[in-house]
Structure 1
């Protein structure tokens, strides 16, 4: 699902909203999550899951094109762990295609 598809669904469920308002709502939610992660904070959405940031240590990698070894510096990557309700829904035997 893309951001524009999410906005379209929001507009279908809440026809009183204008496109501009729905877009602002979606951008505010995603912006808040991104800002929190950039500040090293964890974001938990009960029943859905939790976003956090994990640190990856520096390592020796390979350039796939040349095979040459390259030093990969330390970096931070987003991590998502599903909540219990979402996990159960994904693994439900009645899940739709």
Structure 2
């Protein structure tokens, strides 16, 4: 599902315009992004939680040249699915 399709679905379910739905989606995504930038955890009960994990620096190998390289430490976003989301996906097939 693309962003446009999601906006249309939100607008239809909420009975509002696509412009309002797009603004709401943008606000939610910006709020999650800002919280993660601050290192805060964002929990949406039943859906899941977003957090930031720190990956240590490590050595790797360039698959093309087979030469060793150093991969720097960095922070990465992590999503852990909630119980309701896991159950919904599990029953989807």
- What are the Cα deviations for residues 3-45 of structure 1, in whole angstroms up to 9, with x where unaligned? 2111010122233x22221111000001100111111000000
| Structure 1: distance between partners of 2:18 and 2:5 | 12
Unaligned runs of 5+ in 1: none
Aligned pairs, how many? Answer: 93
The TM-score, its normalising length taken from structure 1, stands at 0.86
Question: Which TM-score applies when normalising by structure 2?
Answer: 0.90
Distance 1:14 1:85, change over 3 A: closer
Aligned residue for 1:47?
46
For residues 34 and 63 of structure 1, what CA distance do their matches in structure 2 show?
A: 31
